[in-house]
Chains A and B, each alone.
Chain A
């Protein structure tokens, strides 16, 4: 079980960050998004290779309107 934006997800095995993005319906090529794993930024360059262990907390963010 991993947690993506606060929701528990059973992704099976040890998915990569890219796998998780695709499973959430997010194109990993989308501009303007960023990912944190366990409160550290995961650079775009590692999305394809970095696997997420059981219990990982993943935050996927993008720019929204704000002052």
Chain B
């Protein structure tokens, strides 16, 4: 068995096809162990007002794990706020990569398509490697690629919902049309969701809550790591066609005939 080709985003090579969100972990020790168990090489962080009393242990954990950091624009509702937040992330963390989120609705946390596209174009023009969190709309995914995004990150279902991939048909359309990596972002509830995303042709999966809020986050990180690998291998292996009726795999010939 050969290892699948590594993932490439904007010229950077990743052996792991699992990105990990750092949100939701209740202890830094658990986050560190989950990073290791997941095998990830890139973890997301949010940018928020500094609390002078807080210790700076998050970056210490990420640095100690030896993984890359991907600042996001979570919580932004306008292109303007998202662009400024991305610029603050670049200044704070010394990376021009950004996971772009522009939210349009508090209850569903679904992306605001028009603000997202405006922000993506502004950030690409400003030299960012833009990885946009988007809906599962194939047309919007294409538009994001057209303005120069380095990947597209469609949701499987709403952030933190654990509903899995609500619209596999749309995700397939996005994968078929995309000329940049497709990273399933949001909605994964357990390992099989991540495997399905890869079987459908996604290039990577990003998980946060599925791991951080699992009963045993480190064990789930381990499980999803293997699910992603299983999914990409299965995609490469080629699944059988679905059939309406059964098709025996044992030969029909040579059946013994038993005496009455």
Contact = CB atoms under 8 A, between A and B. Distances in A.
B140 interface: no
B240 to A, nearest CB: 35
Contacts of A36: 84, 88
A11 interface: no
Contacts of B87: 41
A5 B72 contact: no
A34 B92 contact: yes
Interface string A14-49: 000000000011100011111110011101100000
A44 to B, nearest CB: 7
B56 A67 contact: no
For chain A, give the interface size range.
Answer: 20 to 34
Contacts of A62: 47-48, 50, 56, 92
Contact of B21 (A33, A39, A66): A66
**Interface of B, helix, strand, loop or mixed by DSSP:** mixed
B72 A41 contact: no
Interface in B20-64: 21-25, 31, 44-50, 52, 56, 58-59
B93 interface: yes
Contacts of A40: 84
Contacts of B88: 34, 36, 41, 59, 61
Q: Which has the most chain A C-beta neighbours within 10 Å: B80, B93, B209?
A: B93
A59 B45 contact: no
B137 to A, nearest CB: 21
A67 B69 CA distance: 11
B89 interface: yes
A35 B47 CA distance: 11
B74 A67 contact: yes
Contact of A33 (B23, B92, B208): B92
Contacts of B80: 39
B159 interface: yes
B50 A33 contact: yes
B59 A34 contact: no
B91 interface: yes
B159 A67 contact: yes
A65 B89 contact: no
Contacts of A64: 45-48, 58
Interface string B69-88: 10110100000100010011
Nearest to B31: A65
A59 B206 CA distance: 29
A18 B56 CA distance: 19
A40 B21 CA distance: 27
Contacts of A5: 49-50
B91 A66 contact: no
Contact of B45 (A26, A31, A60, A63): A63
13 contacts: A6-B49, A24-B50, A31-B56, A40-B84, A41-B84, A60-B49, A62-B50, A63-B45, A63-B46, A63-B92, A64-B45, A66-B45, A67-B159
The 5 closest A-B pairs by CB, nearest first: A66-B46, A67-B21, A67-B208, A34-B92, A34-B91
